Amino acid sequence: MTLDEVAGPIGIFFRALGGDGGLQVEAAEASAHGARRGFLQRLAGLEDKVELAWRDERSLRLPARIDLFAERALNRDLYIWLAALAAQQTGPTRDWLVESQDQARRTLTRFPGLRPRYRRLLDAHLDLRPDPRALPAQERAREEAIRLALEDPGSVERLPAGRRPPYPVVLWLHPDPELPPGAWSDIAGSDLSCGESQDIDRDAAVESLGERRRRRAERVAMPEKDQGLITIRMENILTWDEHVQVDRGTDEEDDLERARTAAADLDRISVARDRKAHGARLKFDLDLPAESEDDLVLSEGILLPEWDWRQGALRPNQCRVVPLVAAHATPCGLPEHLRRTAHRLRHQFQALAPARVWQRGQSDGQEIDLDAYLRFATDRRAGAAAPGDGLYRDMRKGARDLVCLLLSDLSLSTDTWVDDRARVIDVIRDSLFLFAESLAATGDPFGMLGFSSRRRDPVRIHNLKDFDEPHGAAVRGRIAAIKPGYYTRMGAAIRYATRVLAAQPGGRRLLLILSDGKPNDLDRYDGRYGIEDTRRAVREARDLGLTCFCVTIDERGNDYLPHLFGTGGYVVIRRPAELPEQLPVLYARLTA
């Protein structure tokens, strides 16, 4: 059973049992266990690593593949049990044996329906563990203590001393998961990929490992070039057990398959800055802290707060938002390849425009309101006081009383290719073109903004269309001029858009967010901090009566968007190329 098969149900199950809704389900990398192995295993170099589950403040990490038991149902049951066990973890593990028993006991007490599943897993796991009678005395005592703790959680107070670590317990969480710096107290992790700098080679081909795994990593200084493998004389080498850093030269012709294999085999990946442009790039997630904290003094622009989820409070004046308008945007017409689609959408959206209706009881108008006049004449004949105004009716255009603001992500990730013909930014540009043409046909007031950021100063807001500005060539010129920016500080962008939209009159106000990935930035915003700040910004907008809805083309959007927008507050477009036509149709459904 693989994690990809059960990730969705496991995430729902974990949250239903009280697990933290902000955690994402990811694959855990294998780690060396150090336990005793057989002669053939040591000779073949096998069974030296094991994939165990653990959790931190950012993610729930489960084995990428479980094939321990002969029955597929048991392997799936192990995923379920580990998720239930992780839902009971409240902090980092200090005494592995005691806390593992406490977690198991609490899980079985709170959810007694898991007892039969745990019993089946326990019987199968004990059959796979080494026979205590075949182990040395110290290891036998440790193995017997673990077996007793598994069968009767809470009955063992301490693990007997021993030279070797015990055989891995797959029914418990990892004894020493080597959490990233600051985990459980000050999360500063970041999802980084090779070539994270903003000046990466934009023509490079990018391939992904296609895994949910986040690998351990460390930052190092870029090694000096042209250093030899060994720079001392061979007779001076005393032992081969000493640690030697090897500068392995890279060749531009190395294919990505070799790099992919190396990344899969390494326990820890060292990351260094290299300004050299490469023809290809391999993308994967690293468990790496941010390179630096952002401590810039904010003194200009629009200052907005940011939510610190650890302290449970808003930090005032944390972000400087800079509204921008393209200086060299040449007014233009609609691109040729979109004209047929735009013509069809305009005809469809014209049906949403409110029809002209008679407004009765007017003091002035095109015709006399006969019903009002008859009431007036009858009341006057009866001697009652009757007002003489409101005797006309007038044909006027109706109104839907609806205002929409489209907030589009223009971060660096939009520079990636969705197919052989278009990049993400091209798809977003076409979507903005068609969205504007469609809403102009309805007559609904609407505005459009784009955003990107580089740390908290500045957060760049690109003004594409104001509410009081008619749609035309100037707006199309600004849309045509958009290009990939930097990063995605979504919370600040939503707060700014909320201020703009809340100032517009309207019975219903819709904030439509278009994104291609989760919130991230260079500082600590990349990780749980950014997720929680964005969630808080969405809640603030809804408290003001705004309707927030997110449209994303991120294939992993279902992992984090329910926590940000709720189960009915987002949609994932599986095929990015379909976004330009799907976005106007989605708006029509939301505002019907």
State residue 353's pLDDT score: 67
Three-point CA angle 527, 530, 532, nearest 5°: 105
When computed from its CA atoms, the radius of gyration of the chain, rounded to whole angstroms, is 31
Please, what is the end-to-end C-alpha distance for the chain in angstroms?
A: 43
State residue 200's pLDDT score: 37
Six-digit token string for 285: 């997630």
Burial 464-492 (b: 16+ CB within 10 A, else e): bbebeeeeeeebbbbbbbbebbbbbbbbb
Beta-strand ranges (E) seen in 231-312 are 269-271, 280-283, 285-289, 302-308
β-pair partners for 303: 320
* Of 29, 20, 73, residue with least CA distance to 51: 29
Instruction: Write the DSSP string, 536-552.
Output: HHHHHHHHTT-EEEEEE
- Cα separation, 206 vs 164, whole angstroms: 43
Helix axes 137-151, 115-128, angle to 10 degrees: 160
State residue 357's pLDDT score: 62
pLDDT digits (tens, 9 = 90+) for 71-95: 999 999 999 999 999 998 876 667 8
Beta-strand ranges (E) seen in 171-312 are 189-190, 205-208, 214-219, 269-271, 280-283, 285-289, 302-308
Q: CA of 420: how far to CAs of 178, 410, 577, in Å?
A: 41, 20, 11
Q: Cite the DSSP H helix spans in 319-385.
A: 339-350, 370-381
State residue 20's pLDDT score: 86
DSSP letter at 575 equals S
Contacts by residues 542-548 (CB-CB < 8 Å, ≥ 24 positions apart): 544/498, 544/502, 545/509, 546/498, 546/501, 546/502, 546/509, 546/510, 546/511, 547/508, 547/509, 547/510, 547/511, 547/590, 548/494, 548/511, 548/513
- Cα separation, 68 vs 147, whole angstroms: 18
State residue 490's pLDDT score: 95
Q: Cite the DSSP H helix spans in 37-136.
A: 39-44, 72-86, 96-110, 115-128
Six-digit token string for 387: 């007002």
- Cα separation, 453 vs 521, whole angstroms: 7
Phi-psi region of 317 (alpha: psi -120 to 50; beta: other; left: phi over 0): left
State residue 293's pLDDT score: 42
DSSP letter at 94 equals S
Cα within 13 Å of Cα(429), Cβ side: 20
pLDDT digits (tens, 9 = 90+) for 508-545: 899 999 998 889 888 888 788 999 999 999 999 999 99
DSSP letter at 308 equals E
314, 452 contact by CB (below 8 A): no
Overall fold of domain 295-349+400-590: Rossmann fold (3.40.50)
* Of 17, 12, 157, 35, residue with least CA distance to 88: 17
pLDDT digits (tens, 9 = 90+) for 413-456: 898 888 778 899 999 999 999 999 999 988 889 999 999 998 88
Burial 122-136 (b: 16+ CB within 10 A, else e): bebbeeebeeeeebe
- Cα separation, 167 vs 165, whole angstroms: 7
Q: Is 407 helix (H, G, I), strand (E, B) or coil?
A: strand
- Cα separation, 562 vs 554, whole angstroms: 13
- Any idea which residue has 């007490």 for tokens? 109
State residue 280's pLDDT score: 65
State residue 275's pLDDT score: 58
* Of 329, 319, 255, 245, residue with least CA distance to 495: 319
User: Which residues of the chain form CATH 3.40.50.410?
Assistant: 295-349+400-590
Q: Is the peptide bond before 136 cis (omega within 30 degrees of 0)?
A: no
In this prediction, the residues of the chain whose per-residue pLDDT falls under 50 are: 181-204, 228-230, 240, 242, 244, 252-253, 291-299
Side chain identity at 15, as an amino acid letter? R
Q: Cite the DSSP H helix spans in 366-489.
A: 370-381, 424-442, 473-480
